[in-house]
Each structure stands twice: as C-alpha cells, then as structure tokens.
C-alpha cells in the first residue's frame, strides 16, 4: 500500500475471488463456471475479421446484443443494460442507489458488503434462518436498497417471485435488486415483475449458464428510468465497458439459446445425481437450484475436506465465516468430473 492511497481505502476489506490456479490441471469445482464450452455458433462468430476490427472502439450501446436479448426475454430494449460482468452492475447499484443504506443477508455473495463499504453505505445485515432460507419478513419495510441473490450463494437455496414481490411491494421508496446469477438452473426469474414495479432491478450474467465467465458480460432488466440511472454511471466511467469480442460472442450465445438451456438441464441432472450420492454418504446437502451445492459432513471438517481434495487435484470453495465453515461449496462440473470428485471423496473418507 502506498502512502498516497486515500485513508478510507486503506482499511477496505476487498473481495477474495476463488482460486484461479495456473500451475497445474485441477478438477475445478470452485468458482461456479460451466463445464461446457460456449456453443459452436459463438466460436464461429469470433472470426479473423472481427478480431481485426479490434482496432475500432465497440458500440457503447450494445445495440445488436440488446435487440436480440430483448426479443428472447420479451422485454423492451430501453429496459436493458449491459456491462462488464454483473459485478460491475452491482457496483453501480450500490453507488447509485445506496443513499438510505443497504440490506442483504449475512450469508450471501461476498461482494455486497465490499460495495457497501466502498461506497460508505450503512449495511443492515439480515441473518438467514437456521435452515439457511431467506427470512422474507425481516426484509419487509426496510426502505433501503435491498439486494437478494436468488438463488442465494453459497447456499443455492431459491425463493419464489411471489415471496420477493412481498419485499418489493413493502419497499417502494427504494429499490430491490434481485441478483439472478444462477437463475437458469431451476429457479424462477423476477424479470416478469419489472413491468409492474419501478423499484425492481433484476441482474444477470453470461458467466454461468452461458459459459462466458472469461468474456465478462452482465445484464440488468428494469424500469427505463432505472436503466437511465445505470447509464449515467457507465457514461461517467467507461462507456466501452463491453468489449467488441464479448458483444459478438454474447449475441451469438443469445441466438443459440437452446444449446445453453440443454446444458443447464445436464447440469441440473448431474446436480441431482451428486446430491443423492452425497446424501447417501451421510453428507448434509442443502436443496440447490444453482450450478453448485453446499454440503457438509459430520466425519470431516469443511477446511480439512477442502485441503484433502486439493491434494487430490480437486478444487472446491471453502468459506471461513463461522456459520458456514463446516460446509464446502461444490460447483457442478461434467458428469465425468463429478464421478472423479465422488471417487476421491470416497478415498478421503476411507483414509
């Protein structure tokens, strides 16, 4: 840290991303990436001539992508915003809408508390219930920025749009952001409610179900005034925040939606298979509607299991925070990867 850094930033607790080891090949079940590559259509869209066009700036409005996306989702283009990953949008959200404070769960996506601190926003931390479900009543009438990950991470547990609607309806002076990063793996989106409520913003990503984590493409759907607000921040920071190649890949992915919905089905089937195998081995596994599961065993601590798996070249994600330190979050890989994972797990438990 240099002596030039602002005082406030010196004490900032930054987000810790999952390990991205470059040293050797792991079975990588730690950052909720897709085990499947982008579709052939995406790969073919990234032609030599598109790469040569990298000398030109990209379209800051992402017009082609917006138009295809609007059609697929049945929303109007003016209600859509694209950015450099959904983290970028969440940053904007806290920056733009946090003036009355922000409420979010104690166990949820770790970036919310980082953004709250970064933008000097007073946090209201709402504990999950003992069974790790969201306490809907605790969010009612908060009248501040509310951010809910649905399905939640790292638990994988989803709530219904009807439950979230109660929160939106009771929080009309402020906005509710539903972070739908994992929505395509079996939960129901709140996008349909954005026409009814001007204080709802749904945020999504191409990183998980659309196999494009490395391309950085996030989106938000909401009332057009909210989208204008996000545009104000984008055009005051980095109007070109979705690069040319990502726009082209994103457009091809949207047009090839069936490939991705089929992948999601495969991942959900594999999730069900792994869940029942783990439960058969005595693990507690929360009911997940995401592309990961959250599991613990009485036979081995969360940190020990994480370490032993890593020794066997399988990476999962372990969180130190007290309420969840017994657990590991395990991304659902391909069926073959998960069979190797289960075999290594059996070896560890037998040792």
Q: Which residues bind ligand PMP (CB under 6 A)?
A: 85-87, 109, 149, 153, 179, 181, 205, 207, 213, 218
What are the start-end ranges of the E strands in the chain?
27-28, 80-83, 102-105, 123-126, 145-149, 176-179, 200-205, 218-222, 284-285, 292-296, 314-315, 327-331
Hey, how many other C-beta atoms are within 10 angstroms of the C-beta on 146? Answer: 26
Q: Which is nearer to ligand PMP, 58 or 153 (CB)?
A: 153
Instruction: Dig out the tokens for 22 from the structure.
Output: 């470059």
> Minimum Å distance from CB 142 to ligand PMP?
20
To ligand PMP, the closest distance from the beta carbon of 55 in angstroms equals 27
Given the complex with ligand PMP, which of 219 and 341 has the nearer CB atom?
219
Distance, CA of 348 to CA of 351 (rounded, Å): 5
Cβ closer to ligand PMP: 169 or 213? Answer: 213
Q: How far is the CB of 323 from ligand PMP (least distance, A)?
A: 17
Residue recorded with tokens 């792994």? 274
Q: How far is the CB of 36 from ligand PMP (least distance, A)?
A: 16
Q: Rounded to the nearest whole angstrom, what is the least distance from the CB of residue 205 to ligand PMP in the complex?
A: 3
C-beta of 20 vs 346, nearer to ligand PMP: 20
60, 52 Cβ separation under 8 angstroms: no
| DSSP-derived secondary structure letter, 281 | T
Q: How far is the CB of 62 from ligand PMP (least distance, A)?
A: 15
Q: Which residues pair with 218 in a beta bridge?
A: 83, 205
Quick one: 41 or 213, whose CB is closer to ligand PMP?
Answer: 213
Alpha carbons 113 and 122: distance in angstroms, whole number: 10
Q: Is 177 or 309 the residue whose CB approaches ligand PMP more closely?
A: 177
Could you tell me the sign of the dihedral formed by the alpha carbons of 181, 186, 187, 191, in that order?
positive
């Amino acid at each position: 840290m240099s002596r030039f850094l602002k005082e406030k930033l010196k004490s900032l607790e930054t987000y810790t991303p999952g390990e991205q080891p470059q040293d050797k090949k792991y079975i990588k079940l730690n950052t909720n990436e897709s085990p499947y590559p982008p579709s052939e259509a995406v790969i073919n869209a990234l032609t030599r001539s598109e790469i040569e066009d990298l000398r030109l700036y990209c379209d800051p409005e992402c017009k082609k992508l917006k138009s295809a996306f609007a059609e697929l989702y049945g929303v109007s283009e003016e209600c859509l915003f694209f950015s450099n990953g959904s983290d970028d949008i969440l940053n904007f959200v806290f920056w733009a809408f946090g003036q009355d404070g922000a409420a979010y769960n104690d166990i949820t996506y770790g970036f919310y508390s980082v953004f709250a601190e970064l933008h000097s926003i007073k946090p209201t931390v709402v504990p999950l219930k003992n069974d790790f479900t969201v306490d809907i009543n605790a969010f009612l009438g908060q009248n501040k920025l509310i951010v809910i990950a649905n399905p939640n991470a790292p638990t994988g547990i989803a709530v219904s749009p009807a439950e979230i609607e109660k929160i939106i309806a009771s929080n009309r002076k402020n906005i509710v952001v539903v972070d739908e990063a994992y929505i395509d793996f079996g939960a129901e989106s709140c996008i349909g409610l954005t026409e009814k409520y001007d204080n709802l913003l749904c945020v999504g990503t191409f990183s998980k179900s659309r196999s494009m984590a490395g391309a950085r493409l996030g989106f938000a759907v909401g009332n057009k005034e909210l989208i204008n607000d996000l545009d104000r921040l984008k055009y005051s920071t980095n109007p070109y925040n979705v690069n040319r190649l990502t726009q082209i890949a994103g457009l091809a992915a949207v047009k090839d939606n069936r490939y991705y919905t089929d992948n999601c089905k495969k991942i959900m089937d594999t999730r069900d298979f792994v869940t029942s195998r783990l439960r058969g081995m005595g693990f507690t596994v929360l009911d997940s509607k995401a592309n990961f599961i959250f599991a613990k065993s009485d036979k081995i601590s969360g940190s020990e299991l994480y370490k032993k798996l890593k020794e066997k070249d399988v990476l999962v994600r372990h969180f130190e925070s007290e309420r969840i330190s017994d657990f590991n979050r395990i991304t659902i890989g391909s069926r073959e990867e998960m069979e190797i994972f289960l075999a290594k797990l059996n070896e560890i438990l037998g040792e």
